[in-house]
Amino acid sequence: MKHLPTLSLAAGALMLPGAALAQTAWDMPTPYPEGNFHEKNIATFVEEVNGAAGDAVAITVHNNQSLIKHPDIKNSVRDGIVPIGELLVSRLSNDNPIFGVDSVPFLATSYEDAKKLYDAQKPFMEEALGKEGLKLLFSVPWPPQGLYTKQDVTQMGDLTGKSFRAYNKSTEELAKAAGMIPTQIEASDIPTAFSTGRVEAMMTSPSTGVDSKAWDFLTNYYTMNAWLPRNMVIVNQRAFDALPKEAQDAIEKAAAEAETRGWEASEEETKRTTDLLKENGIKVEAPSDDLKSGFQKIGETLTEEWKNSAGDAGEKILKAYEG
């Protein structure tokens, strides 16, 4: 991880020539490449903040883990190394199970259900983040997750013993339940991991498939619609509180707009990137009945396990979601 010694908790103050006031410079690490739809959404968010609050704060985005590696972003924001950052929500499920509910397989398999689940989860996320001095700004889903393989897969047994790209606790458990061998791989490392044989299958979005040019090393994509994991943008609460009121208002307004815009963009991204997979030679098809029922059974088991691990909070989230 790259540390930024010149940054204070709220980032360093930078005097601009001719400026009447000091401008606070915020560096913002993100895990994904600049062309990804999440990063395009964040670029618009930053442009709106810098335009509305430029005399108080200026945000600079550092995409694709170029500043801080994905596993370190949350702690870097918490510790004040950077004041703001983006990460996958479920990366924090080892810290607190409530962050993993959006990645429980086959619990929420449509955008409508994913939004209901987010609404049920959000108060618990805000409370957990707040205890660490963090503030949730907005959260946006990836397209529904599908299964990528190097060959045709018609039944669950075809996956037994294969190495599987995992990126959080839920995908590790999914792989084990399906008889596969989980290996933690970040999105930026997917092409190398497949090309070198470290992994043979993965469950991820069509968007990530396009970003990684999956057609260079894979042949099949099955539209499982298994879950819609979300990213979130968080800010260090003390850094946020140190800004003048008009800057705070600008950030919160831009964040609300980014969340709405991001959910709409995600739905558009699903169709666009699925079509691109087809155009580049990936065989895109619905899963067989055996695959679908096999993974749904695993999803039911993992939902119950998640509920038990999350305790009272998990029960409340599921009750609110189902209600």
CA–CA separation, 203 and 93 (whole Å): 18
Q: At what angle do helices 245-279 and 37-53 cross, to 10 degrees?
A: 160
C-alpha 305/C-alpha 68 separation (Å) is 32
| One pLDDT digit (tens) per residue for the chain, 323 residues | 444 443 433 444 333 333 344 589 999 999 999 999 999 999 999 999 999 997 899 999 999 999 999 999 999 999 999 999 999 999 999 999 999 999 999 999 999 999 999 999 999 999 999 999 999 999 999 999 999 999 999 999 999 999 999 998 889 999 999 999 999 999 999 999 999 999 999 999 999 999 999 999 999 999 999 999 999 999 999 999 999 999 999 999 999 999 999 999 999 999 999 999 999 999 999 999 999 999 999 999 999 999 999 999 999 999 999 99
- Alpha carbon distance 219, 260 (integer Å): 34
Contact yes or no for 99/93 (Cβ under 8 A): yes
End-to-end CA distance of the chain: 43
* Domains of the chain: residue spans and CATH: 13-91+110-142+230-274 (3.40.190.170), 146-227+280-322 (3.40.190.170)
Reduce the secondary structure of 33-71 to three states and give it as a string. Answer: CCCCHHHHHHHHHHHHHHHHHCCCEEEEEECCCCCCCHH
